[in-house]
Every structure is written in C-alpha cells, then in structure tokens.
Structure 1
Amino acid sequence: MNGNKIELWHVPSPGSELAEKLEEMGLDANDLAARMGYTPKAVNDILQGNSRITPDVAIMLEVITEIPADYWLRRQMSHDEFLSRERVKASLSDQPLWRKSFPEELGVRDWVRRGKNEADDKSGLSLLKFFAVASPQAWDSYYKDARLKVAFRISLADVKDPYAMSAWIRRGEILSDQDPMEKLGQPAVRKNLKAALPEIIAFAAANKVRPKSKKRITYWTPEAEVVDDCMTGLQALCRKIGIRVLFVQNIKSSPVHGMYRWYKDVPLIQLHDRFEKRATMWFTFFHELAHVLYHGKKGICLQNIEITHNYPEKEDEANAFAQKCMVDAGFKV
C-alpha cells in the first residue's frame, strides 16, 4: 500500500474467485450455467478469465452467490487495469533505447520518482508519468514532431540532446503546477512590467555579484533546486507583475541558459541555476523578459540552444533590450 494507492503486482481474474465460491457452494460450471441460462462454455470462459464480467453478469452472480454485483465489477476492473498496465510495460520493453536516452540526472535528482513497484521503474512507466504522456510515440509527437501547435511552436528534433532538453522543460512545468499563480492576461502583464522595469533594473544593480558564501552546485546535485536571496527576491518581484521565474537545475548534455514561454496562461521565464557570473544570469533574464514584453504567447524561446522555428529578429530585439537594461543597471557590456 502506497498512501491510498495499491501497487498491483498481479491481480487474478474474478473468475478464479468465482470458481472458489462455486466450490464453497457445492456447485460446478454446469450448475452455474443452468442457473444463469448460459451455456457451459460461456461460464467456463468467465471462470478461466477469457470473458469479462459485465454488469448483467454481475447482477446474475449477486442473485446466485449473494455477493454484491459491485464487488464482481470492481474485481473485473482491477484485473483489466492490471492487464492494461502489463501491455504498456511490454510495449516499453520493446523500446529500451528510448528509456536509456534520458540523462542519469533524472534519477539522481529524483525528478522521476521511484515507486515501490520496481517493475514500473524498470519498464519506463515512471518516465511516462514524469512527462505525462501515454507512450514513447506520444513523447515524439509532443517534443520532437511539434504536432501540438497549441503548446509548442518548436521542434526539439534538431537539438543536440532532445531527451535532456525535454526533461528540463518538463521539470519547469511540474514546479509551476506545484505553485499556481493568478492569470492576469498578456495586456495586464505587459502594463505591470513596464511600470516595474525601473525597480527590476535597480534590483539587478544591487545584486551584481553572486555571494562568495554560496557554494556553486554541480550538475549532479541530488537536492532540489538551490537558490539564493537574489534569486528568491527576483522571483517575488516578478510574481507581483504576473510573471513566473524559475531556476531549474540544468542538465550537462543540454546546457540551456534560459527559456520563455506561456504555460497555462502565465508567462514563464525559466533559467538554469549554475551561472558562474551574476552578469550572465542578469543578461539571460533580461533577454527572456524582452520576449514577455514584446513577443506573443504562442511560442517558446530557448537561449543558448539552436532550434527550428527560431526567429532571429526576435532574438536580436531581445538582445538589444537586455544590453540596454544591463547598461542601466551599471554592468559593463
């Protein structure tokens, strides 16, 4: 038992329990067939698990065995779930390269949660749960083929390591879902941002250098994302505007600097948490902030990563905005 969830290792068909009940009642398959008005073959199919217990059959069994119909239906549903889960695991076992393509950091950092059922972990089912997709083919469609245009106007097919990149993007989604924000809408966010921009620049000017006391974490740090006072202060400042800022541990094989997108109607700026120089962090942040201020909602921009459907003019505009903000904050550009 894991909380309120039972980890299913093996769930027999309800037919095996029915056979035990018949033996207890002193009946055989022929007796049950006669009482149900079924053929002996139809009853044997139920007893052997080759035929499902339908609501009609469950009511018949309630009348004959005095065991409620909903019990038989629940047992059938549990068995059906077990069989479906095993089919998914079997399909994943035929695609070992897909499972092995994802970076080790996912397990080391516990991004992909390990359950008590090791078979789920080994099969790749835990990976599907992490990405919230039903199959490796669905992962390809979502992250590489860019078929879901509503969510992405981008394909990760040409990225050096699309598996690592997709994991970093997905981690941001999970962290966002854990901390819901008010949806202000694009016009309100832009208005708030324009009004708060001097305050943000002043905050950057006051936080030019990373504190020496803060130990720089490595790619293999298993703990949750580590942030300092500057990072948390920036998050709080942007949250008042209506912008979510996340610092998400990077993955060595896909060293993206930052990302801009709208996620569930909230603008999201996602940065990695290992900038060696504070100036690089601020430039990346202001670059992504320009996308919020000037560019649309239907899209995703990744900095330091070459991607398809990237628009150079938008990147140039974002770089120019970032340079101006850096100069205003007193950084040497």
Structure 2
Amino acid sequence: MQVYRCDELAVVTPPGRHLAEKLEEMGLDANDLAARMGYTPKAVNDILQGNCRITPDVAIALEMVTEIPASFWLRSQIAYDEFLSRERIKASLTDQSLWKKSFPDEVNVREWVQEKKDESKSLMPLLKFFAVASPKAWDGYYKNARLKVAFSISLAEVKDPYATSAWIRRGEILSDRDPMEKQEQIPVRKRLKAALPEIIAFAAANKTLPKREKKITYWTPEPEVVDDCMTGLQEICRKIGIRVLFVQNFKSAPVYGMYRWYKDVPLIQLHDRFKKRETMWYTFFHELAHVLYHGKKGICLQNIEITHNYPEKEDEANCFAQKCMMDAGFKV
C-alpha cells in the first residue's frame, strides 16, 4: 500500500487504496462494485485510481456496499486533499526563499519562530509566526497597510519593514498570551489622568538602570533584561487598562516604542535595550500621550525613519513627555 505523510503525526493514504483493499477482502472486483453501486465501471476505476473525489453521495453508496461508514470515506478524502494541497503550497513557496532571508537571523535565535528539525528551509514556521498564508499576504498586511484601521502608516516607509513587522508581531503574540479586558477610550483616559502623578513619582524613584553582570546585546533573550522597574510600570498601567510590553528590537530596525490599540486594549510597546533609563521614560511618556490625547485608529512608531501622517500629534506627544520628565526630576 502506498502511504503519504502530511506531518509527523498523521499518515495519509489515498481513499482508493482503502477501497481496493476492501474489495479484495470482499472478493469483489471493480465491475462487481460498479454494478452494486449503480455506477459505470469507469467511474469506479476513477475512484480507485484517485482521479475522482469521493463525494457524500459516493461515500453513502460505499457504506451500503462495504458496511464501512460514509464518514470514514469522507475523512479519508479530506485528509488526502489536505496532503495534496500542502504539497502544492510547499512547492509554490520554494521559489520565495529570498523572502525568508529578508528577516533578521535573531528571529530564529530568540526562538520567536518555532521551527522543527526538518523545517530549516521551509517558510511555513515564519508564515505561522505572522499568522499569514503567504509572503504575498504579508506584503498586503504589513508593507501595503491594507488594514487601514490598524495602521495609519505603511511599513514600506521604514528602513527595514521585515524586522519592524517581526517586532510588532511579537508584541501581538505576547499580548494574546496574557489577555486583558476590553477597554473604552474615555474611561481609560480618566483613569490615566488620575494615576499620572503616581506614574511620575514612580519614574522619579527609578531614574537609573541596574548594574548588569554581562553585556546586553540584540541576541540576548528578552526575559534576561526586564527588571523590577519595568514590571512595576507594567503593573501600574495594567490597573489603568493599558498594556505595556517590553519587546527586544533589532539592530536594523531600532524602533524605541509604539502606541496602538490592539484588540480593544491600548498597547504601549517599548524595546528592552535602553542604555539610559532617561531614554526609556521619555519614550514611555511620549507613547502615553498618544493614549491620553489621540484616537484608537492608527499606530505610532517612535525612532524609525518614517514620515508621520500627523506631525502635530508627535509634537504634542513630545511636549507632554518633556513636561512629565521635568516633573519627575529629569533634566530635559
């Protein structure tokens, strides 16, 4: 019997192979089966050779003759169809290997993309990381900014859209792992205004980075650099209804911070490699201004080479950040 593997757990056999085995067991040939089903011998041979799919009607007819449930024949056909489709997609993706090479090597080193031992040349793990079906779909979502509600800028404008998109997507994945209640914009703003003195006082008490035993690089895993100040800030903001994430960025896309609403929760995403605490706080307050003053539609990326669609909003965010820094005792 010829079998096919579609993954490490499943073995796929063409439905016609199962049927041929059953006919041999029953002592029937194709002509006998055709007569019992009311089909032509050619139609039965097409089923046996895999040239004709098993439809629900055919499956029920086979159940009548073989006493094997129609559900078995249908599941067998679906599994075989899936196998053939996966093979076609894999073949089509082999010509697009350069797309994978466009992403930073650190993506794999950090284990953001979960590759199995035999998938080093496959695009599938990277596509699953981005939750897109193809490189073309990635282009449409990220570079061409097809989702206008989520993106007010196109990543085609940035220096390295591949690294930037990986950083953004990592934030989405981390957010999904730790769900928060959906928020309304006005209540969040009210709670933020009330908690702003607490946040500024917290910044004033955390002005310097802790001493680290080893040098932090772009290749260092995320958990090794998140300290008490970062986690404390996350806890304060979560009570307000704001998610704060620290996600390691890339040398080719040294984005400092980002503001967006993700699944009805305001998200401030910062990188975790700030050399000075002062820079971290300024970036945070800048993004916090977007939560306080600006709408839910749009995304703001800080410290990357783009032309902002609304420079007045960036100016407003900068002024807010400078005032908060001064209130916290930083020299501006």
> Which of the five TM-score ranges fits, normalised by the shorter chain?
over 0.9
Unaligned segments of structure 2, at least 5 residues: 1-5
Q: 1:9 to 1:307 in 2, by over 3 A?
A: farther
1:25 aligns with 2:32: no
Instruction: Give the aligned length.
Output: 327
What residue is the counterpart of 1:107 in the other structure?
A: 108
What residue is the counterpart of 2:41 in the other structure?
A: 40
Mapped to 1, the partners of 2:212 and 2:107 lie a distance apart of 28
What residue is the counterpart of 2:62 in the other structure?
A: 61
Unaligned segments of structure 1, at least 5 residues: none
What residue is the counterpart of 1:201 in the other structure?
A: 200
Mapped to 1, the partners of 2:43 and 2:211 lie a distance apart of 76
Residue 250 of structure 1: SS of its match in structure 2? coil
State the AA in 2 paired with 1:322: A
Contact 2:258–2:302 (CA under 8 A) maintained in structure 1: yes
Segment drifting more, 139-148 vs 9-18: 9-18
Residue 237 of structure 2: SS of its match in structure 1? helix
| Mapping of residues 184-333 of structure 1, within 5 Å | 184-213=183-212, 215-222=214-221, 224=223, 226-333=225-332
What residue is the counterpart of 1:76 in the other structure?
A: 77
1:88 aligns with 2:127: no
State the AA in 2 paired with 1:45: D
TM-score, length-scaled by structure 1: 0.94
Segment drifting more, 198-207 vs 82-91: 82-91
Residue 155 of structure 2: SS of its match in structure 1? coil
State the AA in 2 paired with 1:96: S
Mapped to 2, the partners of 1:66 and 1:224 lie a distance apart of 57
Q: Once the 2 structures are TM-superposed, how far is the Cα of residue 207 of structure 1 from its aligned partner?
A: 0.3
Residue 300 of structure 2: SS of its match in structure 1? strand
Segment drifting more, 201-210 vs 214-223: 214-223
What residue is the counterpart of 2:154 in the other structure?
A: 155
Residue 226 of structure 2: SS of its match in structure 1? coil
Residue 76 of structure 1: SS of its match in structure 2? helix
Contact 1:102–1:164 (CA under 8 A) maintained in structure 2: yes
Per-residue CA shift, 1:21-55, capped at 9, x if unaligned? 11121212121111111111111111111211111
Q: Once the 2 structures are TM-superposed, how far is the Cα of residue 140 of structure 1 from its aligned partner?
A: 0.5
TM-score, length-scaled by structure 2: 0.94
Contact 1:301–1:310 (CA under 8 A) maintained in structure 2: no
Mapped to 2, the partners of 1:222 and 1:261 lie a distance apart of 24
Mapped to 1, the partners of 2:327 and 2:125 lie a distance apart of 47
What's the % identity of the aligned pairs?
81
Q: 1:271 to 1:194 in 2, by over 3 A?
A: same
Mapped to 2, the partners of 1:160 and 1:179 lie a distance apart of 31
Segment drifting more, 319-328 vs 85-94: 85-94
Mapped to 2, the partners of 1:273 and 1:61 lie a distance apart of 61
Segment drifting more, 314-323 vs 198-207: 314-323
State the AA in 1 paired with 2:13: P
